[in-house]
Homo-oligomer: A and B are copies of this chain.
């Protein structure tokens, strides 16, 4: 069975989807990503779909689920490279993109995730009510 390799770039996991997504493949991806996060935590997950030409609402929902699952394991998901036709169709079909964020490309997504990670590392501002 085909498998999408999960690439680690610093503290971010990167998936480059290059085949049309179908049910069992998305399930495989979900299980592989959660396994990778269990082995070594990651601040973020970037899923690039710039090669994907068709994405139905079922698969989009499965990707949103992947984002939710990864979120529960401490990793934020950003979907990158969505083609205009897919964005158009998903919206027309009433798909509501909650659960994951999107970015134009992988570079932008990694910048977003690193900025968030550095914010979380910064000490919290003193609470004025308690000061």
Contacts and interface: CB of A to CB of B under 8 A. Distances in A.
Interface of A: 2-5, 7-10, 14, 16, 18-19, 48, 50-51, 81, 105-107, 110
B107 A10 contact: yes
A49 to B, nearest CB: 9
Nearest to A52: B5
Nearest to A81: B5
A5 B107 contact: no
Contact of A51 (B5, B14, B105): B5
A105 B9 CA distance: 9
Given A5-B51, A16-B16, 10 more contacts: A3-B51, A4-B18, A4-B51, A8-B107, A9-B9, A9-B110, A10-B107, A10-B110, A14-B16, A18-B18
